[in-house]
């Protein structure tokens, strides 16, 4: 059974269809196909040459897409990769191994023996927990370096997962930075564990203990499932940090009432009151914005309100909405300009008049772009999302019928916009991290609208999906035209972290 599992893992390792955090391409680029083939033939690809808690020094060769350092083991054990956090290419580091997998081992960073001073400047670090907390990876880097690294993540994703020849992949444009690099995050979910059994028998009797030493309220430690006690998070908005301080005190005072641990929800929201409860686009100017008061929402069922440019959006606390408000205007403006490029070769007699917003959520792209189209339709499988998206259209006084939200059937999702003229229609897709399934892509290819803008929080699945779209168009023939991948660009929605959003633009030619 074990041998069969390892064989199956070996097969998946080399497949582009299932992107992994540490992909076969990362390992191949470091070790080389010959070494990997030898270890596999010998049945040694799961046999780590490093023992549990063994300490060693290695030189970092590259960064993974999630910001971890990748290094080759020292001779004579150089046919293995070491993965460690918080280190940079060219640095010599001392690490301690704690877990092994196929052809690589995970290790804790103990010391940066020789830092890369061209990249690293520890005076930039803005959090005393950086290096232990799992939330951020890049606080020691300049912001320009962060953006350059994230551009390289997009490049490698399309090289390794799209299956496309280099000639079909455009030059990846520079990553668009966030206007805020700290205090930008509008949602955090810290957590804590319930009192351990032993503490209930001892500490609960002593009322003088205001906050027991074992009580940790915060975020996970890197590489572990243990919670770190963190008083505030510098990438979260000031409103959230202020509210979190009060919540920590309340939890400490009432900790003995908790039978289980809990995850908290804190979302930055514009306060809704009687003066601004109804339609608010009548007065979108600075005077109304100056009166806005931000509060922290902690109830998952409560309504959160955010402003993006001159538009307002409301949604339940538990639902998805982008967590960096400061970059949403640049992002939606970029998508608009991608659909309507100011390039002569794209000027046609048949201008785009209709927009389909698949995976529309609360209606961000539909509502932000609706003034540029005659008709906009957002498609969602979630009835709750459709309800709030429709509410947001009314909230912003969008004319009746211009921007509608429709329930889509996964088996035939574009049937609800069958009346849209394909040659005059643009499509925006913004799926979850897993990307699009093949059924959706088949429907997209059959729908064959003029322009597709694919916004993704996982560039690896985006690359896979874009490759599949172009491959299916090629195999189905081009009598009705085919898509070309016109542009690729990253957006930094989460500064100080390794995460990068990606926008791909496909045009029917």
Residues annotated as catalytic are: 457, 501
H-helix segments, 230-349? 238-253, 286-290, 328-339
Q: Give yes or no for a contact between 303 and 272, defined as CB atoms under 8 angstroms apart.
A: yes
One DSSP character per residue, 439-487 reads HHHHHHHHH--SEEEEEES-HHHHHHHHHHHHHHHHHT-STT--EEEEE
Non-local CB neighbours of 94 within 8 Å, separated by 6+ positions:
55, 56, 57, 109, 110, 111, 113
b/e per residue 124-142 (b: at least 16 CB within 10 A)? ebebebbbbbebbbbbbbe
Q: How would you class 74 by CB atoms within 10 Å of its CB: exposed for 0-12, middle for 13-18, buried for 19 or more?
A: middle
Identify the bridge partners of residue 57 per DSSP, sorted by sequence position. 94
The CA-based dihedral angle spanning residues 453, 329, 326, 406, taken in that order and rounded to the nearest 10 degrees: -60
- Report d(CA 325, CA 87) in Å as an integer: 29
* Dihedral, 160, 161, 164, 166 alpha carbons, nearest 10: -30
- Angle of CA points 271, 272, 273, to nearest 5°: 115
């Amino acid at each position: 059974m074990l041998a069969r599992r390892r064989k199956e893992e070996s097969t998946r390792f080399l497949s582009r269809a299932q992107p992994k955090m540490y992909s076969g391409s990362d390992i191949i680029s470091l070790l080389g196909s010959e070494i990997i083939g030898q270890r596999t033939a010998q049945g040694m690809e799961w046999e780590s040459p490093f023992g549990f808690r063994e300490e060693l020094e290695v030189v970092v060769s590259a960064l993974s897409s999630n910001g971890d350092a990748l290094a080759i083991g020292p001779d004579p054990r150089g046919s293995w990769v070491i993965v460690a956090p918080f280190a940079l290419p060219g640095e010599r580091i001392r690490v301690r191994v704690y877990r092994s997998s196929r052809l690589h081992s995970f290790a804790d960073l103990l010391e940066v023996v020789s830092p890369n001073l061209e990249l690293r400047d520890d005076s930039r670090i803005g959090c005393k927990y950086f290096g232990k907390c799992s939330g951020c990876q890049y606080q020691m880097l300049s912001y320009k370096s962060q953006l350059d690294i994230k551009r390289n993540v997009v490049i490698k994703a399309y090289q390794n997962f799209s299956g496309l020849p280099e000639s079909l992949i455009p030059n990846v444009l520079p990553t668009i930075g966030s206007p805020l690099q700290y205090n930008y995050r509008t949602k955090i979910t810290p957590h804590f564990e319930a009192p351990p059994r032993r503490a209930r028998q001892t500490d609960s009797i002593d009322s003088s203990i205001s906050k027991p030493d074992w009580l940790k309220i915060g975020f996970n430690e890197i590489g572990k499932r243990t919670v770190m006690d963190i008083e505030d998070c510098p990438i979260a908005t000031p409103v959230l940090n202020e509210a979190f301080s009060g919540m920590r005190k309340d939890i400490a005072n009432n900790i003995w009432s908790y039978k289980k641990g809990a995850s908290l929800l804190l979302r930055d929201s514009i306060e809704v009151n009687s003066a601004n409860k109804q339609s608010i686009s009548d007065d979108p100017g600075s005077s109304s914005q100056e009166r806005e008061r931000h509060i922290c929402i902690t109830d998952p069922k409560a309504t959160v309100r955010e402003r993006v440019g001159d538009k307002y959006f409301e949604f339940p606390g538990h639902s998805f909405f982008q967590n960096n408000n400061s970059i949403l205007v640049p992002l939606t403006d970029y998508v608009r300009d991608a659909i309507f490029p100011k390039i002569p070769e794209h000027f046609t007699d048949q201008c785009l008049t209709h927009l389909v917003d698949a995976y529309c959520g609360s209606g961000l792209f539909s509502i932000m772009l609706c003034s540029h189209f005659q008709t906009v339709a957002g498609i969602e499988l979630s009835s709750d999302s459709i309800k709030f998206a429709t509410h947001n259209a009314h909230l912003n006084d969008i004319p009746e019928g211009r921007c509608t939200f429709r329930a889509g059937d996964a088996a035939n999702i574009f049937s609800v916009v069958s009346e849209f003229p394909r040659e005059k229609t643009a499509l925006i897709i913004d799926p979850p991290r897993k990307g699009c399934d093949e059924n959706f892509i088949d429907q997209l290819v059959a729908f064959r609208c003029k322009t597709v803008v694919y916004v993704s929080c996982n560039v690896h699945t985006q690359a896979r999906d874009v490759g599949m779209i172009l491959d299916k168009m090629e195999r189905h023939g081009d009598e009705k035209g085919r898509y070309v991948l016109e542009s690729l660009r990253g957006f930094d929605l989460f500064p100080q972290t390794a995460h990068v959003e990606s926008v791909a633009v496909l045009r029917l030619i």
